[in-house]
Structure 1
Amino acid sequence: MRRFAGLIDAFARAEGPPPQTLGAFFRWALSGAFRWLSVAALLSALVGTLEVVTAILLGKVIDAALASGPEVFWDQNLMLLILAAGFFLILRPLAFGASSTANSVLVAPNVNPLVLTRLHRWTLGQTVSFFDDDFAGRIAQKQMQAARAMTDVAVEVINVVFFALASLVGSVLLLTSINGSIAVALAVWLVVYLLLIRWFMPRIRERSKARAGTRAMVSGQVVDTITNIKTVKLFAHAEHEDRAAIGAISEFRDRALDFGLLSAGFRLTLMTVAGLLPVALIGGTLWLWSRGLASPGDIAAAGTISIRIAQMTGWVSFTLMAIWANIGEVEDGMRTLTPRHRLDQPNAPKGLDGRKDIAFDHVSFGYGRDGNGIEDINLTIKPGEKIGIVGASGAGKSTLVALLLRLYDVEKGAIRIGGQDIREASEEDLRRQIGMVTQDTAMFNRSSRDNILYGRPDATEDDLIAAAKRAEAHDFILGLEDHKGRRGYDAHLGERGVKLSGGQRQRIALARAILKDAPILVLDEATSALDSEVEAAIQTALDQVVEGKTVLAIAHRLSTIARMDRIVVLDAGRIVETGTHEELLDLNGPYAGFWARQTDGFAA
């Protein structure tokens, strides 16, 4: 069974980006699995055909019984009875078992991870602005929703639609063999049934799409609140968050009610239509029998078929409603996840060398609006040069670094490393050349070992511990223990490292950057959360770490960057001063003002 499950590669990569039309999106998401989906569909159709054979055998046995009489029935019809027993005890169970295995073992367990991994890979490649503009919980919900809905569509189309179509085709052929007019009655009923389906399904799809959108908003709202639960507690805003959640949940309830009302009307209408079928087929066959045009076995076969189809109608209608509802959810997920908010060009070249010079050539960026960015920045940083970046809040310091990391693309000008425009390089290739430690250090809810090894996953245990020691993190890591009893480097840190102090998180981030050993190092307030004693110890380690590297250091605490080779002062997105610490003090400009305020404050 497990070997059978492996026929579909559940983690195969898709060709190209996801399309933005529904049919093409399904083909992209399910590519590589269609051969085995077709096998599962054929097995389902075989099972549907066997349902018609059941009615034929029943009719044959009844006709044989009436023709033979009880005295000689067994003697004259032994082979027919053996055939019927073999059908019910061997062939039918084997066919149903094969179809069930194809759906439950081959299709369902593989389609969901196939679609989910493809959507997740695509989402990981989106730009930072894509995530900035949405809830993290909503994006995750859309991925899970689309994968689950597409799996349900695939399974139900195979399990129900192909089964039902085969049963209907076989039923028409059987009824034609009894009398053409009975087959026509079934065909007329089928047309009415399909017209009702055609009217209801687009409306169900639209209401399902609306319901899915509001459901994702509920997830986004709840996750946003939980992610910021400390802020909620500190400001005593549980009631405020409750009202926000109720607003989102109320909207979801309204859309769910719209969907429920339509689905209830759909079921009622189709079940009424389903009730017409046994009346028409059994009544019609009885009328033919009264005229000598049909046998009692024909009545039994027509009755079995009509009752089975009537019963199946409820099942099929419910499943079709679920399929179209799921298609609406797939569309909703597709609309959110497939836009091309991506930076990498197809086949972007690799081989960028971070040991070369960095040049900002007339760079401007304003997050798509005026202000809050940088304007006409010209700056060349030599290999191995240590640059300090200074300025008031909002001056553009972090924007400058974000553009170098290509979290955003410049709006004007260019950034080049070794003469190569970073927009023409692979994003991952660029970021492998840069190590970074930020003020707001993010940790995964994994172990200290996993978080530090994120800098270089193939590092040895000795390299890991050496990096932690250089970052003054080793001793406190040994004292960690989580709620599951894991200790030291194996203890998990909680979501975003919530179990650590700010200084501890920064030391683990420093260890991660030390382990990465990239030729360019960016320090964005890298020691802001440390006390003076720990900072002094780490500063010694940093002096060794930055040796031979190109360094960009952002700091409000000017004492940490006074020894840099050059200091760049930003104001309102522009460079207003550059020079060494001493040169800038002699200029008596903005930097000298910052320095005077800080030193006066310390003296006071």
Structure 2
Amino acid sequence: MRSTILPPLKVSTLHQTLLRALRLVWSMAPGWTAANMLLVVIMGVLPIAALYLTKLIVDSVTAGLAGPDPAAGFPQVFFFILVAVVIALSLAIARSLSELTSEAQSMIVTDGVSDILHAQSIAVDLEYYEDTSYYDTLHRAQQEAPYRPTRIVNGLVQIGQNGISLLGVAVLILTFSWVIALILLAAAIPAALVRYYYARARFRFEQENTESERQAGYYHWVLTDSSHAKEVRLFNLGPLFRERFKNFRTDLRKGRLKLARYRTLSDSASQAIVVTALFGTFAFIAYSTLQGMITVGDLVMYFLAFQLGIGFIQAILNSLAGLYEDNLFLTNFYQFLDLEPKIQAPENPALVPEPRDQKIEYRDVRFSYPGGTKDAVSGVNLAINPGEVIAFVGENGSGKTTLIKLLCRLYDPDSGSITVNGIDLRRFDPVAWRKEISVVFQDYVHYYLSAAENIWIGDIEQDQDPAIIAKAANRSGADAVIQKLPEGYKTNMGHWFSGGQELSEGEWQKVALARAFFRDSNIVVLDEPTSSLDPLAEADLFRNFRDLLEGRSAILISHRFSTVQMADRIYVLDKGRITEAGSHEELLKLKGRYAHLFRTQAEHYQVKHSEN
């Protein structure tokens, strides 16, 4: 049994996450990020200037009222007001520009992170998809990654802006009383602690409930996706799955509301401390004014400064707590990005042997899937000569498709090797080797693209030559289907997009076969290639099958013996091992497992024929 392949989750230190997030955002949007930082400085300085101007205005008005001619002081007051207007307008413009830069930065980073997720999803080995914990990691990365890096940068921006403003406020308050400055700092700490503990509690909750979130998402998908629509109605599964979805969502909602209630109560208590400190300080400032120690303008300035100072400190501490929260959640994203594929090109890859001259050998191959309790294949030895057609036969789960996945280097054997002309597949660049293989798996994909693109994506390095695409479609029988579509090869397939046309399963299989024939490869692998075809279409495909191969090797996997009996050699698998091998005639003479399965299927058709 192979253990799970994901490494344990490690929460990065705050500075590691900050540096990594900053590099990520800067690499994607350097211009917008630089503009945002400049605006931060401007928005940090202007509020202090506005605060000081307020003092000057109040003092000028007070002085004018105390003088013999109050109106004489108005020009000075009016000048200060004009300066205040300029500052207010500048601050408003800076805020608007900051919103623009932040929005642009966010959109660019969100799209960039999505691209990183897509690239990593393609790069990781297929074996990760066999691991349940991988889906939890992927889900958490998808949920958090698009916006967390931008939030980190914006959090640092807010810390910078508030820090600059706080520095100015601190200078003003320290000129009045250092005790007031300490009270200012102490009053803001409880709110930051609340945010810190809430972030930890929420992170634990989301970690522990990721699978429940995915299960709810699964039931939502089943209820809304077209691929399940028939059975949901036929078996009346709608009420059952709706109830299960609601139960998952209810449990998740209750857990999150419990955390929210805790945060609300704690926030209320911390804000009570802030209000008490604010108005207690205001009383002290008012008393100092009445004692003649400071002017009325000072009274207004210090009160506003204290009010702003608490706000700035709270904002800074909240931003720090937010950075801590973002650090926790970005750990999921970076855990996903740090997954290392095992199947990689060697430093000096060997050249893939020339097409039509590739002898493939499985040498004592053993393999088990991650988390599996037994070997999927074991002790497999076989050879495929150039231009040869072989077939794998066996019951479900006997290892047939696993041998194909190993040949394609979607996995590597646990022991043994697969060689081409004596060279281990692991010595080739996997991308270069896969170009040599065309595969139609039994769970082939319906691509909701045009009919032409559905065939062309079999080999995207080729030009979209209509003649070559049509030739591949002719070979699989798909051309007759496509010609009947409203716009022929330009018709969109499926009902996801406007003008799309849905095909029958057999017609989709013909398109998938055309994809394999379009690929300029040396080996054609067909896994249950006619499972959805009618008997006439199957007969048409295999009547000239060797001509269609044009000298290429082929591997057939099928439960239909009418399909495999034309193979040069047939391998019978049972529980991951090859138990018989030979041509159709040789295996019938052997009177073993193959002969038994063949006669059982033949008798079934004979009974059906006699009944008709």
- TM-score, normalisation: structure 2: 0.84
Q: 1:63 aligns with which of 59, 67, 80?
A: 59
CA contact (8 A) 1:453 1:464 kept: yes
Matched letter for residue 182 of structure 1: I
Please give the residue correspondences for 1:156-555 in structure 2 after superposition, counting only pairs within 5 Å: 156-158=154-156, 160-207=158-205, 209-210=207-208, 214-224=212-222, 226=225, 227-309=227-309, 327-332=327-332, 334=334, 338-340=338-340, 342-344=342-344, 349=349, 351-353=351-353, 355=355, 356-368=358-370, 369-371=372-374, 373-457=376-460, 458-480=463-485, 489-494=490-495, 499-540=502-543, 542-555=545-558
CA contact (8 A) 2:380 2:577 kept: yes
Partner of 1:50: 46
CA contact (8 A) 2:567 2:583 kept: yes
CA contact (8 A) 2:216 2:245 kept: yes
CA contact (8 A) 1:44 1:162 kept: yes
CA contact (8 A) 1:137 1:219 kept: no
Query: Counterparts of 1:146 and 1:421 in 2: how far apart (Å)?
Result: 41
CA contact (8 A) 2:409 2:430 kept: yes
Deviations 1:472-504 (A, max 9, x none): 1122223346xxxx7753223247999322211
Partner of 2:561: 558
CA contact (8 A) 1:20 1:334 kept: no
Deviations 1:342-397 (A, max 9, x none): 53257583743473211111001232544462110111212222112222333221
Query: Counterparts of 2:45 and 2:208 in 1: how far apart (Å)?
Result: 38
Query: Counterparts of 1:445 and 1:389 in 2: how far apart (Å)?
Result: 31
Shift of 1:157: 0.6
Query: Counterparts of 2:246 and 2:91 in 1: how far apart (Å)?
Result: 52
Query: Counterparts of 1:439 and 1:197 in 2: how far apart (Å)?
Result: 52
C-alpha change, 1:480 and 1:289, in structure 2 (3 Å) is same
Shift of 1:523: 0.9
C-alpha change, 1:229 and 1:134, in structure 2 (3 Å) is farther
Query: Counterparts of 1:76 and 1:236 in 2: how far apart (Å)?
Result: 81
CA contact (8 A) 2:192 2:317 kept: no
Matched letter for residue 384 of structure 2: I
Shift of 1:443: 0.9
Unmatched tracts of structure 2, length 5 or more: 1-6, 608-612
Partner of 1:129: 127
- TM-score, normalisation: structure 1: 0.85
How many residue pairs match? The answer is 582
C-alpha change, 1:576 and 1:185, in structure 2 (3 Å) is closer
Query: Counterparts of 1:241 and 1:320 in 2: how far apart (Å)?
Result: 42
Identity of aligned residues (%): 24
CA contact (8 A) 1:434 1:519 kept: yes
Deviations 1:122-177 (A, max 9, x none): 12222333224449997774343122341452364146433333332221112123
C-alpha change, 1:192 and 1:567, in structure 2 (3 Å) is closer
Q: Secondary structure at the match of 2:101?
A: helix
Matched letter for residue 146 of structure 1: E
Shift of 1:341: 5.9
Matched letter for residue 271 of structure 1: Q
Q: Secondary structure at the match of 1:49?
A: helix
Q: Secondary structure at the match of 1:72?
A: helix
Shift of 1:542: 3.3
Partner of 1:10: none
Shift of 1:31: 2.7
Query: Counterparts of 2:35 and 2:260 in 1: how far apart (Å)?
Result: 35
Shift of 1:323: 6.1
Between 140-149 and 410-419, the greater mean CA deviation after superposition: 140-149
Deviations 1:256-298 (A, max 9, x none): 1232122212331232233134313322222222232211111
Please give the residue correspondences for 1:70-149 in structure 2 after superposition, counting only pairs within 5 Å: 70-76=70-76, 79-89=79-89, 91-105=90-104, 107-134=105-132, 141-149=139-147
C-alpha change, 1:228 and 1:350, in structure 2 (3 Å) is farther
Between 564-573 and 332-341, the greater mean CA deviation after superposition: 332-341
CA contact (8 A) 2:344 2:429 kept: yes
CA contact (8 A) 1:135 1:220 kept: no
Partner of 2:3: none
Query: Counterparts of 1:547 and 1:20 in 2: how far apart (Å)?
Result: 53
